[in-house]
Amino acid sequence: MTNLPRETAPEANDDLPRIPGAWIDETFDLGRVVISLRRPADPDAFLDEPEVLAANHRDDYMPYWCHVWPACYETARALVDHSWSPATRVLEIGAGLALPGLAALAIGLEVTISDYDPAALQLVWFNARRHGCANRLTTLLLDWRQPQNLQYDLIVGCEVIYERRNHSLVLDVLDRMLAPGGEAWISDPGRHTADLFLEDCRTRGYAVRTQVLPRLDRPGSPPGQTNLYRLTRMAPPRSADFAT
């Protein structure tokens, strides 16, 4: 693969903006690495903010980036435990707080972390700098309705299939941005929409292998398991869908 364009990193700054409910640090032991994640202390405190209400009215926006979703912890641990080529190019989609992406950075991979919310990407830079791995980070402001002409060996998405309307958009991103021979890791904590997503994957020409990840202990995390769906392409993407 050719080198991907790297976005210019924002100027180093040890300060984060004031937010509703303040910031806290949470530590995640991933075995080989430990990630200290700065995150909003009270994600629900954002819901009454005028900017959030206006964005929700305009485009059904919700500040999902504020949460550490249950599947993220297990997915990050699985990434750390897996054996990767040092040349592996990684993209995390719908990253939010980006625990899996930060874990991939921490084990030495080149990682692009994407979200459609600039606030999430600002926080990603902050956390990457704290761990000394911002030199291998690229961020991408990505709207799934407009996949980019960039390709990656591994695409990771945690809890991005909770709504059926998102399935075709996620698969559009994979069709455009997953490199030939690459693999997508899509993880879900067992929501009812997952079976529908698997049907959509097979219709699009993806083979799916399911890996069950036992739930790791974390305060507030529900019992159960994370299902990691590992997708590889069986058929060429529908290039006609991506006329430029």
Per residue in 85-117, pLDDT (tens digit) is: 999 999 999 999 999 999 999 999 999 999 999
Residue 13 is assigned to a structural domain of this protein: no
pLDDT of 217-241, one tens digit each? 888 778 889 999 999 999 777 654 5
Residue 154 lies in a domain: yes
Assigned domain for 33 exists = no
Answer whether residue 126 is part of any domain: yes
Domains contained in the chain, number: 1
Give the CATH number, domain containing residue 83: 3.40.50.150
Q: 3-class DSSP state for residue 213?
A: strand
DSSP 19-67: -TT-EEEEEEE-SS-EEEEEEES-GGGGGG-HHHHHHHHHH----GGGS
DSSP three-state, residue 201: helix
Please report whether residue 11 resides in a domain: no
Q: Which residues, 6 or more positions from 5, have their beta carbon under 8 angstroms from its beta carbon?
A: 138, 150
- Looking up tokens 């629900």, which residue turns up? 44
Crossing angle of helices 99-106 and 118-130, rounded to 10°: 30
* 5 within domain boundaries: no
Rounded average pLDDT over 207-224: 89
Dig out the tokens for 170 from the structure. Answer: 């996620």
Q: Is residue 100 part of a domain?
A: yes
Q: What is the pTM of this model?
A: 0.89
Tell me which residue range forms the domain holding 166.
67-235
Does 104 fall in a domain? yes
